[in-house]
């Protein structure tokens, strides 16, 4: 059996895998081009996914399982994978710690006005008049509440926040005080001081947020998007900000990435931007490999993987 990677792990982790699974051949390559020659023999492919094209899948005739080292699969040749009945899994769940920290860091930073203090320090000005607010006791609405949303809600409860989830299916969710289905989103948005969007990109979530969604939000609301940038168009967002429908937007994701220099989002006074980094972590590869190990052991025993198995029809 051959396991092929299209990304290098660390030397240490690669050696550990080789030793732990000594009956398996491993080939570690830095990208799909370098891995191309070995595709025909590969049983399992470990990849970040975005450079995998239909022709790679065609070539990999023995392929039984692809593990994607990210959460998004929207750039992959899903039709080909589904037709060939190749098992597809991802690393859903390993983003939760860093993304929950990101969201709280950004909300605290904005409410505490830390960029203004930073500018005053540069100017050597001791300015006690800068306004600060507390996040304690506010209301948080998470749109697209899965494992990341639950982790954010767990931390938000420590700050005595009211937590609201918007999901496809409704029902109870740990750490959420209220759960609304998508068609009840108005009530969920009206209450929120902070709206955190963690929607994946699917056909249903492209352009998810309309002008009305922003009208329903409080004028003092903070909209934080760390899901996918396609959930809201630049026009809808800019109009909401310019019409004072909400107070501020914090964007880790944008409709086009990297964000073009001519975008008004860069210099809009009501926008804080980061370059799609919320899911990254020093701990990313170790956590992903830990999940791969666990999945591989299941695969060796049962020839399938239940952990984070993707339903291609649903898109997640």
Contact pick of 135, 142, 153, 305 for a second copy (by CB under 8 A): 135
The answer to the question of residue 94 lying near a second copy (CB under 8 A) is no
Contact pick of 188, 259, 288, 310 for a second copy (by CB under 8 A): 259
The answer to the question of residue 93 lying near a second copy (CB under 8 A) is no
Give the interface segment with a second copy, choosing from 9-17, 24-32, 48-56, 129-137 (CB under 8 A).
129-137
Give the interface segment with a second copy, choosing from 46-54, 77-85, 108-116, 306-314 (CB under 8 A).
108-116
The answer to the question of residue 269 lying near a second copy (CB under 8 A) is no
Q: Packing angle between helix 114-122 and helix 96-112, nearest 10 degrees?
A: 60
Minimum distance from residue 274 beta carbon to a second copy (Å): 5
Query: Angle at CA 185, nearest 5°, toward 183 and 187?
Result: 120
- Kind of pairing, strands 178-181 and 87-89? unpaired
Contact pick of 19, 22, 23, 126 for a second copy (by CB under 8 A): 126
> Is there a contact between 254 and 275 (Cβ–Cβ < 8 Å)?
no
Q: What are phi and psi of 113, to 5 degrees?
A: 65, 40
Per-residue burial over 41-73, b if 16 or more Cβ lie within 10 Å, else e, is ebbbbbbbbeebeeebbeebeebbbbbbbbbbb
Contact pick of 18, 238, 273, 285 for a second copy (by CB under 8 A): 273
Using the 8-state DSSP alphabet, how is residue 7 labeled?
S
The answer to the question of residue 154 lying near a second copy (CB under 8 A) is yes
- The burial class, CB within 10 Å (0-12 / 13-18 / 19+), for 4 is buried
Minimum distance from residue 169 beta carbon to a second copy (Å): 27
Minimum distance from residue 97 beta carbon to a second copy (Å): 5
The answer to the question of residue 117 lying near a second copy (CB under 8 A) is yes
Give the interface segment with a second copy, choosing from 80-88, 150-158, 179-187, 237-245 (CB under 8 A).
150-158
Give the interface segment with a second copy, choosing from 25-33, 47-55, 60-68, 155-163 (CB under 8 A).
155-163
Q: What are phi and psi of 183, to 5 degrees?
A: -80, -5
The answer to the question of residue 106 lying near a second copy (CB under 8 A) is yes
Give SS3 for 266.
coil
Provide the strand spans (E) within the chain. 2-5, 25-28, 44-47, 65-68, 87-89, 139-143, 162-167, 178-181, 194-197, 222-225, 248-251, 271-273
Site string for a second copy, 7-26 (x = CB under 8 A): --------------------
Residues that bind a second copy (CB under 8 A): 97-98, 101-102, 104-106, 108-109, 111-112, 114-115, 117-118, 120-122, 124, 126-128, 130, 132-136, 154-155, 158-159, 257-259, 261, 266-267, 272-277, 280-283
């Amino acid at each position: 059996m051959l396991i092929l990677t299209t990304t290098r792990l660390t030397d240490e982790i690669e050696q550990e895998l080789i030793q732990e699974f000594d009956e398996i051949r491993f080939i570690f390559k830095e990208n799909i081009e370098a891995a191309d020659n070995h595709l025909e023999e590969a049983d399992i492919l470990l990849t970040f996914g975005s450079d995998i094209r239909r022709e790679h899948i065609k070539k990999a005739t023995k392929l039984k399982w692809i593990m994607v080292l990210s959460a998004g699969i929207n750039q992959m040749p899903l039709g080909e994978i589904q037709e060939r009945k190749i098992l597809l899994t991802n690393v859903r769940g390993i983003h939760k710690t860093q993304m929950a920290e990101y969201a709280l860091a950004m909300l605290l930073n904005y409410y505490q006005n830390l960029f203004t203090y930073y500018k005053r320090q540069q100017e050597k000005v001791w300015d006690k008049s800068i306004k600060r607010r507390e996040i304690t006791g506010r209301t948080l609405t998470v749109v697209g509440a899965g494992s990341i949303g639950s982790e954010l809600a767990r931390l938000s409860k420590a700050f005595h926040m009211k937590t609201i989830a918007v999901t496809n299916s409704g029902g109870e969710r740990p750490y959420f005080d209220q759960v609304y289905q998508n068609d009840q989103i108005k009530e969920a948005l009206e209450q929120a001081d902070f709206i955190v969007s963690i929607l994946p990109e699917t056909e249903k979530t492209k352009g998810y947020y309309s002008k009305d969604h922003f009208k329903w939000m409080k004028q003092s609301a903070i909209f934080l998007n760390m899901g996918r940038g396609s959930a809201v168009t630049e026009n809808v967002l800019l109009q909401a900000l310019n019409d004072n429908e909400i107070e501020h937007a914090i964007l880790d994701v944008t409709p086009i990435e990297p964000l073009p220099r001519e975008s008004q989002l860069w210099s809009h006074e009501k926008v804080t931007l980061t370059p799609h980094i919320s899911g990254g972590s020093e701990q990313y590869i170790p956590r992903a490999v830990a999940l791969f190990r666990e999945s591989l052991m299941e695969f060796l025993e049962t020839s399938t993987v239940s952990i984070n198995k993707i339903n291609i029809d649903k898109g997640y």
